[in-house]
Structure 1
Amino acid sequence: MPDTALADTDEIQRSVSEAATQDAQRITEDAAAYDMLAAANFSGVAWELMADTLATYAYPVTMNWLYTGEIVALCAARQRPVTRAPHDWDALMADRDEREELVCETIARALRTFREHALIEGRWSPEGGASLKTYFIGAVLGEFSAVYNRWASERSRRPPCIPDGMESLQALPASHRTTEDEIIGRTAVRTFLVGITDETTRTAVVLSMMGYSRQEVGEHLNMSAAAVTMRLSRLRRKRPPHQSGPPPPPESPDPSADKEARG
């Protein structure tokens, strides 16, 4: 009969050895990545490639934590509490677009913080225990509460939208106002809008079709120009080719959105 205790001991030793090998490999890879970034002064193509790698890693992790609510406890553990009002959180859980905007903005802010503090100022090192990716996730958690709290504040100031997306446009500047018939037939507009389930997105579409810039639409909706651009781009990607009605506003360059996106 085999000695179970001895077999268990051998398995533990193998696991420890494998973990040590993986840690050594990770340290070597992170050190090489750091040296490459340092040689490029943490900028240019080298930084862009690293930023893309970190963002790709952090996005699904953060989206999952946000959806499950685990991110609230994780932020609290880092002394970055999230001021979570039930009605705001319920709205966020019901709208993936809103969650995606929060996560993307959080990651963008975390990348700037990580580059400045962890890399340029040297607060991270390969021998410090945490991998590059793990340390970056910490930066994401450090930024989330500020992004969420600002989103909740802006959401409370958003103007109401009626179900078909044609909210009270009379209050908008007269220099931009045109009749719906001058843009496209009223029936076609409503046919297209009825397929957009999110009221804020419908409003952004209407205003964009009327000639407002992304910055102006964002100011009306109390959101950033980059967030408006993201919503309209997602709408274009999701829209089936056979769907009737006018297409989403063209993705022509919007200087205000580009400037904000570059941050």
Structure 2
Amino acid sequence: MQGDVAGSQSAAASARDLQPSGRHECGDLDAPVSEDDLHRMNARHGRQARRLQQSVERRLKDRQILLLLAQDGFQGSRYDHFVEELVRYGISVLRGWMHSGFIFQLVAERGFGLHPHELDLEELATQSEVREELATMTVARALPRFRQTALVDGGWTFEGGASITTYFMGACIYRFPNEFRRHRAAEERQRRALQQQHMVYENPASPRSTADEVLGKMWVREELANITDLRTRTVVALTLDDYTQEEIQQMLDEKSVRVIEGLLYRWRKKEQRHQGGGQHD
């Protein structure tokens, strides 16, 4: 299924370029068109004309499809096939938006401040299964309202200027924030559960593991002076003193525990690169 990318510049947005500037006086209305005017059609205008034509053709095709689907009451085998293609398209586009982080710009433009953490962006960029899960759930949540509003109630129209796929992606954008918040809350619950499980079921430390831990802490203390970022140095020092991340977050008045996690994560990655990928904690 073909479609415009939601959020792209519409033809109407550039219509202001076609209005008089007001800087010129009206001259002779019968004055002939100059040769320059006749040849002013350049490559950009040609591309824009083709895009407009393609948009019209696409929306005409969409209108024909919806007329057929309406005859079946937006149900049955033809509607199922239509939804299958729409779902495939929606998941593919959402995955791409999440991979690049563009999805957060789109939802912010619509008033949803998700404030993604650096670790959130990294997770979406590297974890294909997370993108797939979020995209699938977002599309599933968007479909019922899209069917009712856009199709049954006639919310989508040819005159609206958007293709069916663009209209549907708009519906998905409004559903994504809740799905992302659910995912983030579930991740936090899992993190806390694992932390609690580790505290309850942790095996007693052997003399060798205790010695390794002491040596590791001694090495980190020696490296503290080389940490140029004050916040990171403070977090590492407090961690060495066995403060929990929740306690450090409160002591430094940070917004969340994820800020502490992020600082430690980036410091460890930097140290691993310096030591050729070795672990020191």
The interval holding the TM-score normalised by the smaller chain is 0.5 to 0.7
Instruction: Name the CA shift for 1:83/1:41 in 2 (closer, same or farther; >3 Å).
Output: farther
Instruction: Name the CA shift for 1:13/1:145 in 2 (closer, same or farther; >3 Å).
Output: closer
TM-score of the superposed pair, with normalisation by structure 2 = 0.51
Q: Please list the CA deviations of residues 117-157 of structure 1 after superposition, one character each: whole Å capped at 9, or x if unmatched.
A: 11122211122111101111101111111100011011111
1:53 aligns with 2:85: yes
> Which residue is 1:24 aligned to?
56
Task: Find the aligned partners of 1:78 and 1:159 in 2 and give their Cα distance.
Answer: 30
Match runs of 1:45-194 below 5 Å: 45-158=77-190
Q: Please list the CA deviations of residues 75-125 of structure 1 after superposition, one character each: whole Å capped at 9, or x if unmatched.
A: 011123324244444334332111111111111112222112111222111
Amino acid at match of 2:183: W
Task: Find the aligned partners of 2:53 and 2:123 in 1 and give their Cα distance.
Answer: 45
Amino acid at match of 1:73: Q
Q: CA deviation at 1:8?
A: 4.4
Q: Please list the CA deviations of residues 169-227 of structure 1 after superposition, one character each: whole Å capped at 9, or x if unmatched.
A: x99xxxxxxxxxxxxxxxxxxxxxxxxxxxxxxxxxxxxxxxxxxxxxxxxxxxxxxxx
Confirm or deny: 8 A CA contact 2:100 2:125 kept in the other structure: no
Task: Find the aligned partners of 1:161 and 1:12 in 2 and give their Cα distance.
Answer: 57
Instruction: Name the CA shift for 1:33/1:160 in 2 (closer, same or farther; >3 Å).
Output: same
Q: CA deviation at 1:34?
A: 0.9
Confirm or deny: 8 A CA contact 1:83 1:149 kept in the other structure: no
Task: Find the aligned partners of 2:149 and 2:163 in 1 and give their Cα distance.
Answer: 15
Task: Find the aligned partners of 1:72 and 1:17 in 2 and give their Cα distance.
Answer: 31
Q: CA deviation at 1:69?
A: 0.8
Task: Find the aligned partners of 1:19 and 1:114 in 2 and give their Cα distance.
Answer: 26
Confirm or deny: 8 A CA contact 2:142 2:171 kept in the other structure: yes
> Which residue is 1:258 aligned to?
none
Instruction: Name the CA shift for 1:12/1:90 in 2 (closer, same or farther; >3 Å).
Output: closer
> Which residue is 2:70 aligned to?
38
Q: CA deviation at 1:11?
A: 4.7
From the CA coordinates, give the structure whose radius of gyration is larger: 2
Task: Find the aligned partners of 1:23 and 1:159 in 2 and give their Cα distance.
Answer: 47
Amino acid at match of 1:42: F
Q: CA deviation at 1:57?
A: 1.9
* Unaligned residue ranges in structure 2 (runs of 5+): 1-34, 202-281
Aligned length: 164
Q: CA deviation at 1:7?
A: 4.3
Confirm or deny: 8 A CA contact 2:59 2:164 kept in the other structure: no
Confirm or deny: 8 A CA contact 2:59 2:162 kept in the other structure: no
Confirm or deny: 8 A CA contact 1:118 1:124 kept in the other structure: yes
